[in-house]
Every structure is written in structure tokens, then in C-alpha cells.
Amino acid sequence: MPTTNKPTVFDGNQHREMTDAEYAQYQLDVEAAQVAQVLAEAKAAARQSALAKLAQFGLTETEIDALVGV
């Protein structure tokens, strides 16, 4: 079996190298997971920024929680 950099999978009987189609899907899945992580981090940062701005207006933590539905 030729050696490449493709990951291996267990198909129920043996470990084997991913097919080209499996590897292409794997790469798409990895990229999608990375994009989802970046979006989640951006959303969390935006939330923290919004909460900080509400606090600057003099709202208490309890009032902020009531507004944002924590």
C-alpha cells in the first residue's frame, strides 16, 4: 500500500488509508469546524463588548441579566 499523508480509518475489519473522496470530505469538515470556532469566538467577544457597554451606562449586573435573558 502506498504511503501518503492521508489519515487512516477503521472500516470494521481493518485500518486503511482514506479514499480520495473520504479525504476530501474530511478536509471540508475540518475547515467547517475551524470556521465555526472562529464564529463562536467572534460572537462571544461581541457579547462581552455589549455587556461592557451596558455596564458603562450604569446598569447593574442584575439589570443587564434581565435585559439579555441570562
The pLDDT mean for the chain works out to: 92
Q: In this model, does residue 27 exceed pLDDT 70?
A: yes
φ and ψ at 3, to 5 degrees? -100, 125
- Model pLDDT for residues 1-20, shown as the tens digit of each residue: 555 689 999 989 999 999 99
- Tell me if 1 sits within 8 A of 17, measured CB to CB: yes
Which of 27-54 are b and which e, b meaning 16 or more Cβ less than 10 Å from the residue's Cβ? eeeeeeeeeeeeeeeeeeeeeeeebeeb
pTM: 0.69
Contact 9, 23 (CB under 8 A): no
